[in-house]
Amino acid sequence: MKNLWIPVVLLSLLPLPGWASVGQQSDGHSDLERVNTIDKNAVLTGQTSKDQVSLNGRILRWDVNMDGEVTIADVNEVIDYILYGYQQEISSAYYYVGTSNNWTPCDATYKLDNGGGDVYSNPVFSVVIPAAYGEYTGGRVANFFKICSQETMDLGADGFWNGNFIGKATNIVDHEMSGYFVEDAYARVFDFVIPAEIPADKYRLTFDMINRSYEFEAIKETPDLWYLVGSCIGNGSWDNNSYALGTSLVPMYPQPDNKNMLKYVGYFPAGEGFKLIHSPGDWEEQWGMSDGRLVKNDGTSDVIKVAEDGYYQITYDLEMDVVSITKYTDVVNVFTSMGMPGTYQDDQAWDPAISLMTPMGTVYENHDWIKKNMTFDSDEELKFAANGEWYYNWGSEAFPVGVGIQYGPNIPVSAGTYTVVFNDILGTYNFIKETE
């Protein structure tokens, strides 16, 4: 069989609608746009071999070999491109099947979306799935899954697993968050995120059906936290382990209007040292001080100290990765107790003298309070109230993080189990959901 040489008439060598890169071939050929979505049989019909055409001053040849591959040769520059001689088929819809839906066949819960319109004009599909948690331990586990097309869904539950799937080419468990996929009956499962890797509440899965590429993105809906630890923090023991939260480890407070902005205000005595750390039990990611400057992840950094006794505000802009420490000059009150009166109490008591929080600071003046393992069986409302009475109380409509104001509205709390932290200077609070 002779190779067929196809005369091609194009306005330019720029990509046309419906074309996409096939990637560099193993023999070193460069990328070129995939064969257009026209009827190639009609194009090939009647063509003679070894035709050449001139495109914008460049002479091209286009042939099809016996294996159905199309070759374009630029005679002027001697650049060869390999194209597959078939159209890349894109389904009308795609669906997730895996850990997050218990591998349920024909389940449309997690349907991928391309934003509407023609799938060849909009070939990028995405879906957001929740993090996967172990059935018995409750801890975050790896998420294993494949993507199926509408055609596979149409096979029904009995024929579902005989269909084609989008997945990896190998069985290697590598937790890769981006790469290239295959689509056939033998596609291997995707896998990503074990507890130590990219923890998040949800993940966005994105697939480019033309370029055959994928990307997984962590979506952190709960605020990122940083902690203070040091001789003037909590009990002063420098214990940075997770069990020390509320005793020697004190969290900074995300702001409700910008969860990437963390703040903390407290009393700091001159000469006492502290640091900021990101992950309890780990000193690798930290802020310290070197030559009078705040520095991050400097293995030789010293502790942070203030020049004179007083109240200071620490602000951490996570987006800009900048920490600042300034004097706090507003009036500060010292309280002996902090309650959480609300509808969850027996007979909706709203009693400020019970459901007391634990003070975090025990070596110096305390302004941080904590209540661990606080379970709400249903949605409730509450406030923070000091000294067993209502004279000082804080409320806000924000949840799970917020800034309470004096005599503010009740805080709406969603059902769940939380570690609750509260700073009585700023009125800031955080309901940290206990999921691991």
Q: What DSSP line would sit under 51-84, residue for residue?
A: -EEEETTEEEEEEE-TTSEEEEEETTTTEEEEEE
What would the pLDDT profile of 230-262 be if each residue is shown by its tens digit? Answer: 999 999 999 999 999 999 999 999 988 888 899
pLDDT of residue 277 exceeding 90: yes
Arithmetic mean of pLDDT over the chain: 79
Measure CA 20 to chain center.
28
Predicted pLDDT at 140 = 63
Domains of the chain in start order, with CATH, are 4-84 (no CATH), 94-219 (2.60.40.3620), 227-327 (2.60.40.3620), 338-433 (2.60.40.3620)
Predicted pLDDT at 221 = 64
What would the pLDDT profile of 283-304 be if each residue is shown by its tens digit? Answer: 989 999 998 899 998 878 999 9
pLDDT of residue 361 exceeding 90: yes
Cα gap 7→48, rounded to integer Å: 9
What per-residue string of b and e applies to 185-216 under the rule 16 or more CB within 10 Å gives b? Answer: eebbbbbbbeeeebebeebebebbbbbbbbeb
Q: Confidence class of residue 19 from pLDDT cuts 50, 70 and 90?
A: very low
Predicted pLDDT at 75 = 37
The residues, any chain, with a CB within 8 Å of residue 176's CB and separated by 6 or more, are: 192
Q: Which of 78-82, 173-177, 381-385 has the lowest mean pLDDT?
A: 78-82
Cα gap 436→434, rounded to integer Å: 6
Q: Which of 44-58, 122-136, 181-195 has the lowest mean pLDDT?
A: 44-58
Cα gap 341→343, rounded to integer Å: 7
Q: CB of 167 within 8 A of CB of 210?
A: no
Q: What is the DSSP letter of 301?
A: -
Q: Which residues pair with 4 in a beta bridge?
A: 64
